[in-house]
Structure 1
Amino acid sequence: MTLVARPRLLLVEDDRATTEYLRQGLEESGIDVVSVANGNDGSQYALSQPWDVIILDRMLPGLDGLTVLMRLRAHAITTPVLFLTTMDGVPSRVAGLRHGADDYMIKPFALRELVARVQVLLRRSSSFQHATVMNVADVELNLLTLAVTRNGEKILLQPQELKLLEYFMRNAGTVLSRKMLLKDVWHMDFPVRTNLVETHVCRLREKLGQDGQSLIRTVRGSGYVMGA
């Protein structure tokens, strides 16, 4: 079976049922989804990581969706943004589009139409078309073939280990908490007692080689960080 890179979508939506409905439909269509439930987190995630598409609600706890969008465009972030909202008046649509939204859909919505619109936006996303290889130190991850090498030597990883490595590499230099890893890699956004993170980090370090622990370092009391 040939594996290809999956686009990454940030979903900023405060309704849990809508979030899960969208996640299921989008991931079945080959799109990885990371979700946050308020505008403050949405702004932070959108500014700190590369995304292929962003779906924004207009009415959110904390920062509203229009403010989040304006912050992104003010920072020259050109990621395609689709507004998904109950605000269906013409002035609301015009405001969203004028401030940099690429598309605007009204709730309730047809999932098939939303997926189709996201796929159109993906075709416009230069980051997904061109950013195919990631490097941190001497580790390389090819996002098209999902091949991992270190110093030119191939490393075989399981699918979840690949997702974990990609997340570390996309956030190289940033301390990632256990809670962030559970939410963004395993999609667990609720308190849970498990050594899932610790076990996978340990296995990933072992496969990266003898100095894997220095490549992915433990930050006491905070989490893990890859690279400088």
Structure 2
Amino acid sequence: MRLLVVEDNRNLVANLFDYFEARGYTLDAAPDGPTGLHLAITQRYDAIVLDWMLPRLDGREVLRCLREDAGSNVPVLMLTARDELPDKIAGFRAGADDYLTKPFALPELEVRLEALAARANGRGRARVLELADLKLDLTTLEVSRAGDVLHLYPACRKLLEALMQATPAAVTRERLEHALWGDSPPDGNMLRSHIYELRRAIDGPYPVKLIQTLPRVGYRIAVPSGVD
């Protein structure tokens, strides 16, 4: 699941990234209203976490622009210290789908976001990607192949989700790097190292190899031609 966090508190943003990335989520962050609005309009997100008190453009105005001007229906959860009933009513009337006050528990935020994304996608909580005998449960983050439960590092799980969401299309190196590191990928061949680990877990013990390297393009996951 891909999240946008529009929040100017750097410590809070860091905590959210640590928690959600460890669970296989992909996150982007914006420190002010205009940046958050731009990302929300130009990028695809499963849900947005939006603060009320933001520099340059407050959360309610971001919501108004997102809903009325851009016509976006992306789920938005307002995360704010404003806990009075009139504030909550104003947030919902501005277009918020949910409202959570600070301080809050990270697991509660997670389940609220999962519920918002599931409703927006018209699906229940059980979201499972399947390819041949390979399964990735996006709710439990369990990965299995041929009935065997596979234990993947978070980075490998993110790569697997990106590849399975795109199958049978190829995914460029740039897109995979963005899924792992956003706009600041490390130097060197870190992506290749993670692909190696993913391939060893997903394909190593099994006769049918699903992860394919496309020279000068990137990677894809698909059942090889001629294999049922």
TM range (shorter): 0.5 to 0.7
Instruction: Summarize the Cα distance change of 1:88–1:170 in structure 2 as closer, same or farther, 3 Å threshold.
Output: same
CA distance in 2, matches of 1:24, 1:203: 22
Instruction: Summarize the Cα distance change of 1:218–1:44 in structure 2 as closer, same or farther, 3 Å threshold.
Output: farther
Q: Work out the percentage of aligned pairs sharing the same amino acid.
A: 24
CA distance in 1, matches of 2:24, 2:65: 22
Q: CA deviation at 1:66?
A: 1.2
CA distance in 1, matches of 2:68, 2:196: 37
The answer (yes or no) to whether the contact 1:43–1:68 under 8 Å persists in 2 is no
Structure 1 stretch displaced more, 55-64 or 138-147: 55-64
Q: CA deviation at 1:197?
A: 0.7
Q: What's 2:77 paired with?
A: 82
Q: What is the 5 A alignment of 1:155-170?
A: 156=150, 158-159=152-153, 160-170=155-165
The answer (yes or no) to whether the contact 1:12–1:42 under 8 Å persists in 2 is no
Q: CA deviation at 1:210?
A: 4.5
CA distance in 2, matches of 1:92, 1:130: 30
Partner SS for 2:4: strand
The equivalent position to 1:135 in structure 2, one of 120, 130, 146, is 130
The equivalent position to 2:12 in structure 1, one of 4, 18, 34, is 18
Instruction: Summarize the Cα distance change of 1:65–1:183 in structure 2 as closer, same or farther, 3 Å threshold.
Output: farther
The equivalent position to 2:184 in structure 1, one of 162, 187, 190, is 190
CA distance in 2, matches of 1:72, 1:123: 26
Q: CA deviation at 1:140?
A: 3.3
TM superposition score normalised by structure 2: 0.59
The answer (yes or no) to whether the contact 1:10–1:33 under 8 Å persists in 2 is yes
Q: What's 1:66 paired with?
A: 63
The one-letter code of the counterpart of 1:36 is A
CA distance in 2, matches of 1:129, 1:168: 22
TM superposition score normalised by structure 1: 0.59
The equivalent position to 1:201 in structure 2, one of 192, 195, 200, is 195
The equivalent position to 2:143 in structure 1, one of 135, 143, 147, is 147
CA distance in 1, matches of 2:188, 2:107: 33
CA distance in 2, matches of 1:174, 1:210: 16
The equivalent position to 1:36 in structure 2, one of 29, 52, 64, is 29
Q: What's 1:3 paired with?
A: none
The answer (yes or no) to whether the contact 1:219–1:225 under 8 Å persists in 2 is no
Structure 1 stretch displaced more, 94-103 or 202-211: 202-211
Q: What's 2:93 paired with?
A: 98
Q: What's 2:108 paired with?
A: 116
RMSD value, Cα: 4.5
Instruction: Summarize the Cα distance change of 1:42–1:156 in structure 2 as closer, same or farther, 3 Å threshold.
Output: same
Q: Larger Cα Rg: Structure 1 or Structure 2?
A: 2
Instruction: Summarize the Cα distance change of 1:171–1:87 in structure 2 as closer, same or farther, 3 Å threshold.
Output: farther
Structure 1 stretch displaced more, 31-40 or 53-62: 53-62
Q: CA deviation at 1:65?
A: 3.2
Q: CA deviation at 1:167?
A: 2.5
Q: CA deviation at 1:75?
A: 5.2
Instruction: Summarize the Cα distance change of 1:139–1:101 in structure 2 as closer, same or farther, 3 Å threshold.
Output: farther
Residue ranges of structure 2 left out of the alignment (5+ in a row): 223-228
The one-letter code of the counterpart of 1:42 is A
The one-letter code of the counterpart of 1:212 is I
